[in-house]
Structure 1
Amino acid sequence: MGILPTVEDVAVAAGVSRQTVSNVLNSPAIVRAETRERVEAAIAELGYRPHASARRLRTQKSSTIGIRLDPITTDGISGSILDRFLHALTEQADAKNLRVTLFTAPDPEAEIRQFQRLSDGADVDAFVLTSTFYGDQRTEWLIEHGHSFVTFGRPWGIDDMNDPKHLWVDVDGRDGLEQATSHLLSTGARRVGYIGWPSPSGTGDDRRRGWLETMQASGGLGDEVLRTLSVATEDGVSFGADAMRRLEAASGGVDAVACASDSLALGALMATAGRIPVVGYDNTPVAASIGFSSVEQPLDEVAAGVLELLTGAHGGRVHSGSDAVADPRHRLVKPRLVVREFRPLGAGAPGA
């Protein structure tokens, strides 16, 4: 077994000091981009990996991120997005010599108790939160107690885009539904319906806004008609099927439907027997296997953004003073519409 490369080896290869290498590893935002790239190239070439236990002894930190393992959903579809995010986060954290600790909690109050337990025992250094909502008491507790954290999801209900109270990464759901609705309109559909979640729902309202603004901009239908083309329901396949039937009854018929999730989209397809185009959201394996279009969230980018905010200049905390850290306090990631050819039920079958 060969001798493992050291910080000194990396410094020599990159033509920098040991301290610069340390800065690249622990506070990359303070190092000039060209220098950082040179050091990172030397690290990759030499195969250097920091000694995690030694670093923990120096910093008195566990190098561990805590995140709740979400409950299993009844239909097993919608929950897959958080499973994929967790996989991406764990994989990228490992590459940075960070560990991820999973815990369970049935509700926000129980999750806060887990925060207290894990922080009191010095088991974790920071938390990642998912499924943010209006009046989220979890974030208020973490801010009040001075803990480092980043949320996957915006702090709904405050001026999150311009003056965020905490660090967050989110996927632009409004943009995703704009893409979905624009695609359906481009195929010749005129009456494009929408099935989403009851308001107030930060994520749901954001996605509905993308559909509504696109339909209004198309100029084909008035506000009264648009109101009949939108139905709210709980998430799930059966709820989506029922919502689709209600949508058609209230509107007098639709040409296509954009949905807030793949669960709702699958329900809509079942209710219509696949006779009209339906676009979902999350691009789950169900969308791929059945063959309907869906908006994909780039979860690798989300995970990378979360880790940047936790380990970079911010260190997982909002600093006092607007100019304390110049790096943006949030990352809004653009989703991508995955288009699959629409085939009405029975189309393309042998002999059809």
Structure 2
Amino acid sequence: MTATRPPSMADVAARAGVSHQTVSRVLNSHAYVRTETRDRVQAAIDALGYRPNRAARALATARSKTLGILVTNATFFGPASTVFAIEAAARAAGYFVSIGSLPAYDVDTVRAALDQLIDQGVDGVLVVVPQKEVMDHIDRVALTVPVVAVAARADIPADSPIRYVEVDQALGSALATQHMLELGHRRLVHVAGPAGWYDADERARAYVATAAAAGVEPRLVPAGGWSAAEGYEVGKRLAAEISGGRGPTAVVAANDTLAMGLLRAFWEAGVRVPDDVSLVGFDDIDGSEFLVPSLTTVRQPFAAIGEAATHALLATEAGAAQVAAVIPPALVIRDSTAPPA
């Protein structure tokens, strides 16, 4: 049996009754193509099953229409949701993505992961690794393509070529803390995320500042990580304090999975939420509204993050600010918070 060749751009042009150049303009979303001509070319593409030769286009245009994404542990809700949002925004802009994950956080691993993405001919790299150690390593790597990082980084080097997009983590934490204060709570605890993560650091910093500004002594309890299991271990200790009448009346958790672990520990100890202690999380993960009680939390607008990060990478305007976008989160009030008994 003789193999048939795949349809070419010339085949599309012949079927649509237009020139090769017109097909090219349609494929590249050129503005100056009449609607009826564009529809006729698209109908020919669909009928023939034509697929553009991306390798040939990259050689002709010096652009691969592919963006690289460098990501840390993508099983965490925040990074995973950010990667998904970037992929959706890139696809909407006509780009594919290539993802490289970091198995370790030393400078050689970071350099190798970046080099692998760049060697694939990506037009730019989006870094979804909100950890100080990793970004410090990236600062020491020579960058040959545009790079945008999604991180709430306060210590950006003045000469860094990297542009940043961030959710205002400090604002989100301040909203959660202020909510507790406005309910009348004065014995507050912040269950903090892992040290060295920009998000965790910003959330803890804003909690301390907001509580102190209200004349409330801030208390930080490190969880050591982001997981429900780590929240559960902290929750057992706090539950013992609450049961003894000396614990907090409100807990501000660094994320929703920590809050889930806290809820389990409180339930096991007979500590009622929100009757005995109010609880707020951060992220608004899927299902947080179906917990018992439903979880008050801070919602991160991941779709907006993906769009802003992709736009910042594709934009080439001169003199662009290092921080390309700061996106506000929103407090979502549910049943896990109430005035102190």
TM-score range, shorter chain: 0.7 to 0.9
Name the CA distance, whole Å, in 1 between partners of 2:258 and 2:120.
42
> How large is the Cα RMSD of the aligned pairs?
3.3
Name the CA distance, whole Å, in 1 between partners of 2:53 and 2:281.
42
The alpha-carbon deviation at position 304 of structure 1 amounts to 1.3
Q: Which amino acid in 1 is paired with 2:149?
A: T
2:31 aligned partner = 10
The alpha-carbon deviation at position 113 of structure 1 amounts to 1.2
Which residue, out of 310, 326, 337, partners 1:332?
Answer: 326
* 1:10–1:48 Cα contact (<8 Å) kept: no
Name the CA distance, whole Å, in 1 between partners of 2:40 and 2:330.
34
Aligned sequence identity (%): 23
1:240 aligns with 2:231: yes
Per-residue CA deviations over 1:176-224 (Å, capped at 9, x if unaligned) read 01111111222232212110035444321210122112111222x34xx
The DSSP-based 3-state class of the residue aligned with 1:65 is strand
* 1:313–1:325 Cα contact (<8 Å) kept: no
Q: Which amino acid in 2 is paired with 1:264?
A: L
With normalisation by structure 1, the TM-score equals 0.71
Change in 2 beyond 3 A, CA 1:292/1:46 = farther
The DSSP-based 3-state class of the residue aligned with 1:308 is helix
The DSSP-based 3-state class of the residue aligned with 2:131 is coil
The alpha-carbon deviation at position 152 of structure 1 amounts to 0.9
Structure 2, gaps ≥5 residues long: 1-14, 43-51
- Alignment length, in residue pairs? 289
1:85 aligned partner = 82
Structure 1, gaps ≥5 residues long: 14-41, 74-78, 315-323, 345-352
Name the CA distance, whole Å, in 2 between partners of 1:164 and 1:267.
39
Q: How does 1:213-292 map to 2 (within 5 A)?
A: 213-219=209-215, 221-222=216-217, 226=218, 229-234=219-224, 235-247=226-238, 252-273=246-267, 274-275=272-273, 276-290=277-291, 291-292=294-295
1:113 aligned partner = 112
Name the CA distance, whole Å, in 1 between partners of 2:143 and 2:331.
40
Q: How does 1:1-352 map to 2 (within 5 A)?
A: 6=26, 10-11=31-32, 53=54, 56-68=58-70, 70-71=72-73, 73=75, 79-108=76-105, 109-122=108-121, 124-135=122-133, 136-142=135-141, 144-155=142-153, 158-159=155-156, 165-219=161-215, 221-222=216-217, 226=218, 229-234=219-224, 235-247=226-238, 252-273=246-267, 274-275=272-273, 276-290=277-291, 291-314=294-317, 324-326=318-320, 329-342=323-336
Q: Which amino acid in 2 is paired with 1:140?
A: D
The alpha-carbon deviation at position 70 of structure 1 amounts to 4.4
Name the CA distance, whole Å, in 1 between partners of 2:40 and 2:164.
32
Q: Which amino acid in 2 is paired with 1:305?
A: A
Q: Which amino acid in 2 is paired with 1:168?
A: Y
* 1:112–1:141 Cα contact (<8 Å) kept: no
The alpha-carbon deviation at position 106 of structure 1 amounts to 0.7
With normalisation by structure 2, the TM-score equals 0.73
The alpha-carbon deviation at position 308 of structure 1 amounts to 1.5
Change in 2 beyond 3 A, CA 1:262/1:48 = farther
The alpha-carbon deviation at position 63 of structure 1 amounts to 1.4
